[in-house]
Amino acid sequence: MAYKEFFWMTCNSTEQLRAEYGPFHTRAEAEIEAKKLGFGYLLRYEHILGEGEEVQEVRCIFVELEGATPIGVDAIPVTLHTRCATCGESAAHEKNWQAEVWADIHEFEHSRHLVRLFEHARGQGLKEICDWRG
């Protein structure tokens, strides 16, 4: 007697190389986590199990979430991080001017120190902003 087993994952795209997170027992749990991560898709896995609970077939169904932003459109909030390349002191900022003020004060108080700027978007990691001071 064959029966189906379902579980849900969150994912950021329908491409083969995608980020997935889960599994979740219900669609509601997966949707909540997808919103936290900024993912636009759910992935429903169906395992068809046969005698001895052996997997006979696997099906994947993508579900696009309502209000999801297409890939390439940055709807995830970005935070800025400054870090001194010399001593390692760092701080987090919400606005560009806050990062500039922190860097100016740090470099004024510590001669020959160099502050670097990074932006962080959830699920995308840190990315250095080169030549941010022109």
Q: What is the pLDDT along the chain (134 residues), one digit of tens a residue?
A: 577 888 999 998 888 888 889 899 999 999 998 888 888 899 999 888 888 888 888 888 899 988 765 555 545 678 899 999 999 999 999 888 899 999 999 999 999 999 999 998 877 788 888 887 76
- Looking at the domain assignment, is residue 109 inside a domain? yes
Whether the full predicted model's pTM is greater than 0.95, yes or no, is no
Range of the domain at 37: 3-64
Nearest in space to 119 (alpha carbons), one of 111, 128, 131, 110: 128
Domain boundary among 37, 64, 91: 64
73 assigned to some structural domain: no
88 falls within a domain: yes
CA–CA separation, 113 and 104 (whole Å) = 10
